[in-house]
Amino acid sequence: MKIILLGAPGAGKGTQAQFIMNKFNIPQISTGDMLRAAIKSGSELGQQAKTLMDAGQLVPDDLIIALVKDRVSQADCKDGFLLDGFPRTIPQADALKSAGINIDYVLEFDVPDEVIVERMSGRRVHPASGRSYHIVYNPPKVEGKDDITGEDLVIRADDKPETVLDRLKVYHTTTKPLVDYYQEEAKTGNTQYFRLDGTQKVESVSAELNKILA
């Protein structure tokens, strides 16, 4: 089972990734989480990525493609994986195709920009796992603490309102063309494409995914 989650920043990809991972027992490959881990470790990749990420810009394709190719070649990906935040550009999608990786499902979460801006202002994350909460719509059991580890939740550096607007611009110009790209792919019959209404409640989106991936 190889799945791509497509959608604007804050559309709910990371939230639903938790649901899909648990259902299929496949690893989530979140390029955003991988880059944040690289920044934390102080690696060369992290140093290159930090300024771009803080400004809401994309990290160069060659760096990301190498990162993902290495990750999907690891043993835990042999029965499938869930790509969250990759591909984000046409060259990244082309790289997957040229590597002979056939995607079973592309799942798009459709959420208008004004809803995204509101969501990001209430997002809190658990940096070690990437688990994401919302102070109103998806609150943790204990305020400010991760449900599983009890560790502190934080506000992401790129969730400042002005950076969110920049990330949305990048999404519309650079990532949104992948909607057409994968809808065309779906016509070949190798990939199935579904668009979900991402403005529904978290549990309703999960229920819809459950039906699609049954």
DSSP label at residue 172 = I
Q: How far is the CB of 170 from ligand AP5 (least distance, A)?
A: 7
Q: Cα–Cα distance between 177 and 119 in angstroms, integer?
A: 23
Q: Segment contacting ligand AP5 (CB under 6 A): 73-81, 82-90, 141-149, 182-190? A: 82-90
**CB of 41 or CB of 188, closer to ligand AP5:** 41
131 is catalytic: no
Residues 9-25, buried b or exposed e (16+ Cβ, 10 A)?
Answer: bbbbbbbbbbbbbeeee
Q: Site for ligand AP5 (CB under 6 A): which residue of 106, 132, 185, 191? A: 132
Q: Segment contacting ligand AP5 (CB under 6 A): 100-108, 178-186, 188-196, 200-208? A: 200-208
Nearest CA among 194, 209, 212, 211 for reference residue 16: 209
In the chain, what's the furthest Cα-to-Cα distance? 47
**CB of 22 or CB of 188, closer to ligand AP5:** 22
Residue 115 CA: distances (Å) to CA of 9, 77, 119, 199? 11, 33, 6, 8
23, 50, 71, 156: which one is catalytic? 156
Residue 124 annotated in ligand binding: no
Residue 82 annotated in ligand binding: no
Backbone phi, psi, residue 196, to 5°: -110, 150
Which positions lie near ligand AP5, rule CB under 6 A? 7, 9-15, 31-32, 35, 52-53, 56-59, 64, 85-86, 88, 92, 119, 122-123, 132-134, 137-138, 158, 167, 198, 200-202, 205
Q: Could you list the active site residues?
A: 13, 88, 123, 156, 167
